[in-house]
Amino acid sequence: MGVKYQINKTALNELNKQLRVRMRALPTIKNKESALRLEVKKAKTMADEVEERQKELMHRMQYMHGLWAEFEPGLVAVTDVKVTLSKIAGVKIPVLKEVIFEVQDFDLFSSPFWYADGIQILKELSTLGIEREFYLQKMRLLDRARKKTTQKVNLYEKVQIPDYENAIRKIKRFLEDEENLSKSAQKIVKKRYEEVAS
C-alpha cells in the first residue's frame, strides 16, 4: 500500500502526527482485542454449561419418555422473550431477561396427574434452549468484533506504523542531504568570493 507523501517539513510534521496517533491507539486496540477474546471464551463456556444442564435435565426425565405421547401438543407456548442490550468492549450484545410462556387451560381432573410437572419441565427446557441461543449469538457477535479488531491491530502493527516510520526516515534523510548540499554550496560560494576579493 505505502504512504503517499511529499518531501517537505509540512509533510514530515503531518506524518509524525499520524504516527503518534497510531502508536497511542495501538495499546488500546490490543486491550480491546484481549477483552473480546476473553468474552468470546466466556460466552462459549456459558453456552456449553447451559447445553450440559439441558442434557442433564433430559437425562433425568428419561423415565417420563413414554408419557410424553399423552401430552397435549400446544399446551405450552413461548409468547415473548424479553431482551435488553448490553455493551461489551463497544459491542452491543442482546441479553436475555425473561421468557414468557402461555399455558392453555386444561382440566386437572381428566388430564394425567403429571401434566403440571410436564409443563414445568417444558418451560425449563425451553428457557435453557433460548438461553443457549443467546450465548451462542453473543459469542458470534463478539467473535466478529474480535476479528475486526485483530485486523486493525495487524494493519497498525504490520503495515501503517512501519510505512509511516519509513516515510519519515526518507523525508528526514532527503532534508538532511538537501541541507548539507546547501551548506556545501554556501561554503563554495563563500570561498570563491574570498578568492575573488583577495
Q: What is the largest CA-CA distance in the chain?
A: 131
* Cell numbers standing for residue 155: 494493519
Q: Which of 147, 148, 141, 121 is nearest to 56 (CA)?
A: 121
Q: Give the residues across from 81 on adjacent strands.
A: 99
Closest CA to 171 of 9, 57, 22: 9
DSSP 72: P
Phi, psi angles (nearest 5°) of residue 106 = -145, 155
Instruction: Tell me the pLDDT tens digit for each residue of 10-27.
Output: 989 999 999 999 999 999
Task: For 38-71, write each residue's pLDDT tens digit.
Answer: 999 999 999 999 999 999 988 887 776 666 666 6
- pLDDT tens-digit profile of 68-102? 666 677 778 889 999 999 998 889 999 999 999 88
Tallying the residues shown for the chain, one arrives at: 198
Specify the pLDDT at position 113. 65
Question: pTM of the prediction?
Answer: 0.76
- What domains does the chain contain, in order, with CATH numbers? 9-190 (1.10.287.3240)
Question: What is the Rg, in whole angstroms, of the alpha carbon atoms belonging to the chain?
Answer: 34
Cell for 23?
Answer: 502508536
Helices 115-154, 9-60: inter-axial angle, 10-degree rounding: 160
3-class DSSP state of 104: coil
Cβ–Cβ under 8 Å, residues 143 and 43: no
Q: How far apart are CA 30 and CA 25, in angstroms?
A: 9
Quote the pLDDT of residue 71.
67
pLDDT category at 149 given cuts 50, 70, 90 is very high
Residue 1 pLDDT class (50, 70, 90 cuts): low
